[in-house]
Amino acid sequence: MARYVKPLSDAEIKKAKPKEKDYKLFDGGGLFLLIKKNGKKFWKIKFRINGKENTKSLGEYPTLSLYNARQKHLQLKEDLQNGINPNDKSFENKSLTKIITYEVLVKEFLEFKVQELSYDYFKKVKRRFEIYIFPIIGKMNVDEIEKSDIINLIKNIQQTKTSSTKQTNKAETMKIVYNLLNQSFTWGIHNDLTSNSVMGKIDKKSLIVKSEVEHFKAVVDKNEIRELYKIVNSYFGSEQVKYALVFLMLSTLRSINVRFLRWEQVDFKKKIIFYDAKDMKTKEDFRLPLTDVMVDILSKMREFTDSGKYVFCAMTTTTKPLSENTLGYALKRMDILNHTPHGFRSSFSTLAYEHQKEHGFSSEVIETQLSHSVGGRVKVAYLRSDFLEDRRELLEWWYKFLTRMD
């Protein structure tokens, strides 16, 4: 059984005085400090190869600190396990610097970015790294990634299959992945994790074909949107999905803000829902005014999901929100193929502007309800109001607009 050796401390090493003969202070595992009779101190490691004892000099203390000596010791032990003799001349040029893989760099990059991204979007970003990037260069030394590796990675996206049933725009995915690569390498350079400027050698325009902007499908004719509202209101599927779609139409919120709506955000007394800045695309706090119809929907949802976290929970559990695809599939089951859940916002925006004289509310009120940034920086600085009551009246007009016949 190996004898226990108490690890050294810097205080012990500093106090160690020279003697008439050289002597050793042991740190354990074969690492020791040789105190010379002239007062100099040298780190050495003792190891065995083929049953024979060998020693290797690591460096002089304090130039080589206790911490760094231990790091070299660990690296040498690992190399010994891999059959590398520390005393081989070829080993002398071997760098003991820890290799940073691209995956390690991205882990730190994402820990930094999580502070400024919404939870749902952060998951999408992380997933793109896992699907398109890590399988190709994740395990590579980040400093050794070359231009050809990046080009092959981008081109490989065309053949990459995902679990999504959507027909994704591969050119658009290529652009997103390219931008993630560029951001992560730039961040790594500025945080001293790499000096590799490989992305600067690649011309995105020569690598990725230009794609047309794909807009969300939306109904913008007043008669069609009214018919759509009737169809959704008579949906015979689950109550969560039906009311989520109706609430989405009436609130003009983004789908993610309806799906991830939590009961703790709802204030029935004040008739508002409060969204923290981190939950919003604009990264600004947002108050949603509730109309009587919207309050009624929330009251009905309490019968189904009040025991859980989310207002519009998943079909099988109250601990998770509705998935992104569930609302889209519901519209398809109703044979609504010319409209998407996100399209309700476009419908509201188009028709609210077309009938601005009718409801009488300004563009600032409309854009604020859509949680868009209103005006330039100077204008925003002076625009303190969020038009809460005006927006409540606007949403009441929107409900009446959807339900009337003229």
* 391 and 280 in a common domain: yes
Number of Cβ within 10 Å of residue 118's Cβ equals 18
pLDDT digits (tens, 9 = 90+) for 175-218: 889 989 998 999 899 888 888 999 999 988 888 876 554 445 67
Task: Quickly state the pLDDT bin for 390 (edges 50, 70, 90).
Answer: very high
List C-alpha distances in Å: 298 to 105, 246, 254, 320: 44, 11, 17, 17
Average pLDDT of span 26-34: 88
CB 147 within 8 A of CB 156: no
pLDDT digits (tens, 9 = 90+) for 249-286: 999 999 999 999 999 999 999 999 999 988 888 888 89
CB 42 within 8 A of CB 59: yes
Task: Identify whether 216 is part of a domain.
Answer: no
Task: Identify whether 56 is part of a domain.
Answer: yes
User: What's the pLDDT score for residue 42?
Assistant: 92
List C-alpha distances in Å: 97 to 74, 94, 312: 12, 9, 51
Token pair 């889209």 is found at 328
Task: Identify whether 167 is part of a domain.
Answer: yes
Least confident of 49-63, 125-139, 263-277, 386-400: 49-63
Average pLDDT of span 116-120: 65
Looking at residue 385, which CATH number applies to its domain? 1.10.443.10
* 184 and 109 in a common domain: yes
Residue 194 zone, left/alpha/beta (φ > 0; ψ -120 to 50; rest): beta
In this prediction, what percent of the chain has a pLDDT beyond 90? Answer: 36
* 336 and 191 in a common domain: no
Task: Quickly state the pLDDT bin for 375 (edges 50, 70, 90).
Answer: low
Q: Which residue has the higher pLDDT, 321 or 220?
A: 321
* 379 and 248 in a common domain: yes
* 367 and 269 in a common domain: yes
* 172 and 36 in a common domain: no
CA 192/CA 373 separation, integer angstroms: 35
User: What's the pLDDT score for residue 147?
Assistant: 92
pLDDT digits (tens, 9 = 90+) for 82-112: 667 766 644 444 444 457 899 999 998 888 8
List C-alpha distances in Å: 4 to 29, 96, 102, 304: 9, 27, 39, 63
Which residue among 148, 175, 207 closes a domain?
A: 207
Task: Identify whether 324 is part of a domain.
Answer: yes
Which residue among 43, 64, 92 closes a domain?
A: 92
User: What's the pLDDT score for residue 64?
Assistant: 83
What's the domain count of the chain?
3
* 376 and 237 in a common domain: yes
User: What's the pLDDT score for residue 97?
Assistant: 45
User: What's the pLDDT score for residue 170?
Assistant: 78
* 388 and 263 in a common domain: yes
Q: In terms of residue numbers, what domain contains 30?
A: 10-92
Looking at residue 124, which CATH number applies to its domain? 1.10.150.130
pLDDT digits (tens, 9 = 90+) for 145-162: 999 999 999 999 888 876
Rg of the chain's alpha carbons, rounded to an integer?
Answer: 32
Mean confidence (pLDDT) of the chain: 83
Which residue among 92, 123, 154 closes a domain?
A: 92
Task: Quickly state the pLDDT bin for 167 (edges 50, 70, 90).
Answer: very low
Task: Identify whether 1 is part of a domain.
Answer: no
